[in-house]
Structure 1
Amino acid sequence: MQQTADLTSLSPAQLRLLIRQKDSRISTTTGLAYGYQQANVVVLPGHLADDFEDFCRSNPAPLPLLYRSQFGEISCPPLARSADIRTDISQYCVYEEGRLVKTVSSLQDYRSQPRAAPEQQAVHYDPCLNMVSFYLGCSFGFEGKLKKAGVPVRNVEQGKNVSMYRTGVSCIPAGIFSCPLVVTMRPVPVDMLDAATRVTHLNPLAHGAPIHIGDPALIGIEDLSRPDYGEQVDVQPGDVTVFWACGVTAIEAILSSKPSLAFSHSPGCMFLTDIPDSPSSSITPPSESMDPPCTKTNPELTPLCFQVSHKPLLYSVVSQAAVARVRKLETIIGEDPGQRGIKALFVQDELLRSCLALSHASSVAITTGFPTHYMHSPPDETDGPPGAIAMATMLLSLGKQVTMLTDRRALEMNQAIIDEAVRTGVLKSAIPLVTFEDSGPDSALHFLCHHGDSSKPRYDHLVAIERSGRAGDGNYYNMRGVNIKHLVDPIDNLFIAAKDIPGIMTTGIGDGGNELGMGKLKERVESLMPNGSLIACDVPADYAITAGVSNWGGYAVACGLYLLYTCPSHQRYLKKGLGPVRGTPQEQLQDWTANLPSVDKEETFLSTLVSFGIRSGKTGHLAMEVDGLTFHPTHSDIITRLLGETLGSTVQNA
């Protein structure tokens, strides 16, 4: 119900007094006490308190712990003056053995029915004197800031309680507590996503930035019209569904752990604190062990939103600092010492968006192979495989499944090359090597999806790096305009089929415009590149990364993924705000760093390719060069600079 104007102007203390007096105008606290934190409340038996605190610490986005009371304490001095948790919430929920048995307007009036003798009269007593109260941040605490920033708050506009949904995402268990994550949903106009994310990021005590933006099915919500708590909020044209972690997760924890007796606020009926919602606000903890979530913010960590998928709709979040560094990587690989004119094809943030999409992927297939030297055996060039292996080993380090896809003619050779890359430490571990044969109209679908079912993709990202791409006439051309179709398997069909399969994204990496995926830039290639009207690839990818040498694009993807995984804003988004708030474990960080491309590893791998008779693309030399550029100093310098930008320091060649 829409709050009346006289209520919205009142302070939290004045509103608590009205709630204590059971003022009928206050049914929900949404839209009230703008400028102040609101709190979810859970009251539990004392013997469960330590477990529940651990549960909060393990899941800081849904359960930002503002205050844990002493045993039997009914006030909360750090949060509010003259408060009484038994009376200062408009409606409470009562749970027995994990079941919601009733709602009450005051815990002072709570009467317990004896379980052993139901015919006896209910007993009146004060349960809070034997329990511990937990006060948890609430997203109502940032609604005022959203409104001030010009972001519409649809639930308030529509006079409704916010929509809350149980997700398919599991919280991190602690003790007896484990349950699914609950989220609130607020529709946000697409052009205000950055503002909404930035504003809420500044208030970690009210759940912080969103944990999901886009298709609700991706987090296990099947029907937006049926919220598990609250009311359905209508999505307006041009809105995107944005989801924040929600303190009602604590209610789910009560339901799953089944304590003999517990209480909570009724969803939407929050405890109003005297704590401002400003990021500069501070809470005085009752003890050193009760430090609240950090409220200090770093401008470089300001999150930005980027759309990474259309089908299904998915946005990702990454810090301003990480974006700037990935863009520097993009600038480095855009240099053109071979003077091929590749800068004409450059599109900003294709590298960033591809890396973001790959960070959300779980299974990636990588293909390479450009048989430009059709008069030699093997006909392949040294550009492509090094970049492919660099991406593969970083993806493996990040826990992704990786598959390499090659031509049948090169299967045996590429298997030997992969084995050697593992033996020499260039590739983290062995990966499957497969081929694709077009044996009918559904071949691509069956290759990409389990049992040919488009709802069950086998891979969620396809990457082509320096891979021959099909031109508009159905042939495959090298830069000289020679047709090499007889040496190329129709892997392009997989990229074409992927466009119609929700959940599969594609990336193409190239340096001339005739590579698979460069069809996204076909018009530019046709008009700006040599032989462009003949050689231009006709098959697009969702992201087309251009580089002076394609290998550099692969190195940049590996470095970009490292930057994303070491970005706190992006890591939090990937993990849905679950897991302890601390930096990346040192052992994990060391593994990621060890699996970045390096001068030594890339020189070793190039030497392996040469030993297999694979030649430089531009000159055909069987030498330590790629596209006519010698490894030292050209390629080694690019790798060193990419690593320097990635690791933030001067990196030695060794």
Structure 2
Amino acid sequence: MLTAAGVARRRSIAFLRSITTSAIDLGYQQAKVVVLPSFLANDFQAFCSRNPAALPLLYRSQPGETSWLPLAGNVDIRTYISQYCVFENGRLRNTVPSLKGFKGLGACWPDMVCFYLGSSFGFEGQLREAGVPVRNVEQGKNGMYKTAVPCVPVGVFHCPLVVTMRPVPAGMVTTAAKISHLNPQAHGAPIHIGDPALLGIRDLSKPDYGYPVECHADDVPVFWACGVTAIEAICNSKPPLAFSHSPGSMFLTDIPDSPLPTSQLSPLCFLVSQDPLLYSMASQRAVGNIRQLEKVIGEDPGTRCICWFYPQVIAASRLFLWVRVRVRTLLRSCLALSHSTSVAITTGFPTHYMHSPPDETDGPPGALAMATMLLALSKQVTMVTDRRALQMNQDLVEEAVRTGVLKTTIPLVTFEDNGPDSALHFLCHEGDLRKPRFDHLVAIERTGRAADGNYYNMRGANIKHLVDPIDDLFIAATDIPGITTIGIGDGGNELGMGKIKEKVKTLMPNGSLVACDVAADYAITAGVSNWGGYAVACGLYLLFTCPSHQRYLRRGTEQATSPGLLDDLVACLPSEEAVLSSLVRLGVRSGKTGNLAMEVDGLTFHPTHSDLISRLLGLTLDSGPTGLP
């Protein structure tokens, strides 16, 4: 039985049929409609299930059914929508104001099945209430774009994902994501925020459906999956006869527009790249856990971070430095790496220039921890090393494979300065800026070039003769769109720490001499650099088990994961002992003491490193239920 409000709403239908319902907010959900022959119904339902962001299924009718009371009572789907599209063999033949009386439909209607799909128009009123401008409503336009993102195919149904774009002020992106997340039946949270080219959209001024919405100066393009994807699926599957709503002409339901309560799974948005513009997304719970990891690795039990040899009286200054410079870059680094495809990792600090090999035990274990997790997540990983250390690192990788630390070997390469374009040709195929080989460069405990062009250990000794100019790759990457750089260090003289060089120069001994001059996009600081690598590996695991982040990575599709993948990832979490044992056998020494022993930076593996790793694993594995993808 309809309420008085429902009766009043029904009386307005004659008006609603004449305009697009994207501009209407009556407090009820809207739905898109697809009508298919019954022999395709099961496959289409499965197609919706595998692509839930684009095709949130509200209801599947019985064959020949014209209405369903909980969705909208006392209506006939054949006449209720303002305009219908008619498809024959996948081609749009006509648009009609009613399906009743459509030639031949009467005979075949008993075999037709209706699918009602949620619409993003359903949360626009809530955006306005939260103060988020809804530009498409303000401008009376709505544009929809075919992307280069394929939907997960089922049976005959396959097509590219279609999206809508709403410009959102940069400071309100998280608000928009939280509000839409609470309404999964209206497409839920965005599936991409940033550069449209990352979706394969060449020109926002030329939508495939509708009319373009103009962005204001401070707006960010925010993309939601769109139910027009269903029209693309019809065109590709070529059913003999099918119908849909006309874009913008919705089915108005009796379901109130009431969002779910907020939770720790609500998403937060973070800018991770300026060129190309890219935001990422993760739940409040995952973000909190990664921030806890960052607190742990910022501890300094050996009082050797940056000022390890300085008198105790300056401890407060050292603490001030690290509190000020650890600006939650671990989280953004993990988010950026989670979006990566091909990562180059470099390490190696030849501080013991009087020994052979001159390298220290800090760096390689953290590098392998990151590489192991990235490989398990199907990323391509390459190690970049000095020529003098190539054989040592090959031996280390081979032993890591033999002992099971690595499941597969990692390519090892060197870089030489053979001219002004050497770095460009190393980073890009044929030196073409549009064809980078890597999308991320990561340096961990890698000696970094100082302002005078030399390389210094913490004592101020110049070790340039032992170092290849890998810094040039980080410098060149600043001019190559699509490459993000990350530096991990504990002393300020490591590659990438140029990001914080002014603080290093001011607050650390010999800072003006030894501070690295080469900046990374993100500088992760830790009590011991290895710990930063372990935290990155743990952070990547937390993001893999974060539904909000995985949904965003997958553009709202439900990709099948390999059986046992989660167990494989758990096995890839940090375990320093085996790698440290290998380094000692190869003659690699502790950084602070020069001891050939199971220690890093003067701290023995038991109990210091083993306890810290246990704490990181505890925060990672005991983070509570996540709703794994």
TM range (shorter): over 0.9
Structure 2 residue identity aligned to 1:268: G
1:326 deviates by 0.3
In structure 2, the partner of 1:558 is 537
Q: Which residue of 2 aligns with 1:541?
A: 520
For the pair 1:269 / 2:254, whether they are aligned, the reply is no
Match of 2:409 among 422, 425, 430: 430
- Counterpart contact for 1:13–1:274, Cα < 8 Å: no
The CA deviation at 1:76 is: 2.1
Distance in 2 separating the partners of 1:393 and 1:184: 37
Distance 1:341 1:551, change over 3 A: closer
- Tell me the secondary structure at the aligned position of residue 354 of structure 1: helix
Q: Following the alignment from structure 1 to structure 2, what is the Cα–Cα distance between the partners of residues 189 and 12?
A: 35
Q: Which residue of 2 aligns with 1:167?
A: 147
1:13 Cα deviation from its structure 2 partner: 5.6
Q: Secondary structure at the match of 1:300?
A: coil
Instruction: Output aligned runs, 1:325-364, within 5 Å.
Output: 325-342=289-306, 343=319, 344-345=321-322, 346-364=325-343
Q: 2: distance between equivalents of 1:250 and 1:491?
A: 49
Give the CA deviation at 1:546.
Answer: 0.1
1:574-589 paired onto structure 2 within 5 Å: 574-579=553-558, 587-589=564-566
What SS class does the counterpart of residue 611 from structure 2 fall into? helix
Q: Which residue of 1 aligns with 2:72?
A: 80
| Pairing of 1:221-232 with structure 2 (within 5 A) | 221-232=201-212
Q: Which runs of 5+ in 1 are unaligned?
A: 1-9, 113-123, 281-296
Q: Deviations over 1:453-507 (max 9, x none)?
A: 1111100000000000000111000000111001000000000011111110010
The one-letter amino acid of 1:596's match is L
2:17 and 2:83 in contact (8 A); partners too: no
Q: Which runs of 5+ in 2 are unaligned?
A: 307-318, 625-629
1:279 CA drift (Å): 2.8
Equivalent residues of 2:144, 2:163 under 8 A apart? yes
Match for residue 508 of structure 2?
Answer: 529
Q: Are 1:320 and 2:312 an aligned pair?
A: no
Identity of aligned residues (%): 71
Structure 1 residues 79-111: Cα deviation after superposition (integer angstroms, max 9, x where no partner): 111121111111111111111111111111323
Q: Secondary structure at the match of 2:80?
A: coil
Q: Distance in 2 between matches of 1:493 and 1:358?
A: 21
Deviation sequence 1:206-254 (CA, Å, 0-9, x none): 0000000000000110000011112110101100000000000000000
* Amino acid paired to 1:603: E
8 A Cα contact 1:110 1:126, kept in partner:
no
CA distance in 2, matches of 1:307, 1:465: 23
Q: Among residues 462, 473, 480, which one is paired with 1:501 in the alignment?
A: 480
Confirm or deny that 1:191 pairs with 2:165: no
**2:583 corresponds to 1:609:** yes
1:483 lines up with 2:462 in the alignment: yes
Taking the aligned partners of 1:195 and 1:55, their CA distance within structure 2 comes to 30
Distance of 2:7 and 2:110 partners within structure 1: 23
Q: Give 1:333 deviation, angstroms.
A: 0.3
Q: Which residue pairs with 2:31 in the alignment?
A: 39
* CA drift at 1:407: 0.2
CA distance in 2, matches of 1:361, 1:585: 19
Aligned-pair Cα RMSD in Å: 1.6
Asked whether the equivalents of residues 35 and 145 of structure 1 are also in contact (C-alpha less than 8 Å), the reply is no
Cα offsets for 1:359-415 (capped at 9, x unmatched): 000100000000000111110000000000000000011110000000001111110
Secondary structure of the residue that 2:243 maps to in structure 1? strand
1:190 Cα deviation after fit: 0.4
Deviation sequence 1:574-606 (CA, Å, 0-9, x none): 0111016x9x766111111011113xxx11111
Taking the TM superposition and a 5 Å limit, the aligned residue runs for 1:61-460 are 61-111=53-103, 125=106, 127-160=108-141, 162-280=142-260, 299-342=263-306, 343=319, 344-345=321-322, 346-460=325-439
Match of 1:289 in 2: none
1:129 positional shift: 3.3
1:647 corresponding residue in structure 2: 621
CA drift of 1:31 comes to: 2.2
Q: Distance in 2 between matches of 1:428 and 1:145?
A: 48
| SS of structure 2 residue aligned to 1:263 | strand
Partner residue in 2 for 1:285 = none
Letter in 2 for 1:637: D
Alpha-carbon displacement from aligned partner over 1:418-470 (angstroms, at most 9, x marks no partner)? 10011011122101000001101111111111111111110000000000000
Alpha carbons of structure 1 residues 308 and 320: separation in structure 2 relative to 1, 3 Å: same
- What letter is aligned with 1:108? K
Counterparts of 1:469 and 1:221, CA distance in 2: 39
Rounded to whole Å, the distance in 1 between the matches of 2:219 and 2:568 is: 40
Are residues 1:569 and 2:548 paired? yes
CA shift for structure 1 position 515: 0.2
Q: How does 1:591-602 map to 2 (within 5 A)?
A: 591-598=568-575, 602=576
Q: Say if 1:85 and 1:476 are closer, same or farther in 2 by CA, change over 3 A.
A: same
Where in structure 1 do 4 or more consecutive aligned residues deviate above 6 Å?
Answer: none
SS in 2 for 1:243: strand
The CA distance in 2 between the partners of 1:621 and 1:152, in whole Å, is 62
Report if the CA contact (8 A) 2:471-2:495 is conserved: yes
Change (3 A) 1:585 1:324: farther
Q: Deviations over 1:111-145 (max 9, x none)?
A: 35xxxxxxxxxxx7465333100000000011111
CA distance in structure 2 between the aligned counterparts of 1:517 and 1:70, rounded to whole angstroms: 62
Question: 1:24 Cα deviation (Å)?
Answer: 7.7
Number of corresponding residues: 606
Contact 1:43 1:128 in 2 (8 A): no
Aligned twin of 1:115:
none
TM-score (norm 2): 0.94
Q: Give the whole-Å Cα distance in 1 for the aligned partners of 2:444 and 2:210.
A: 48
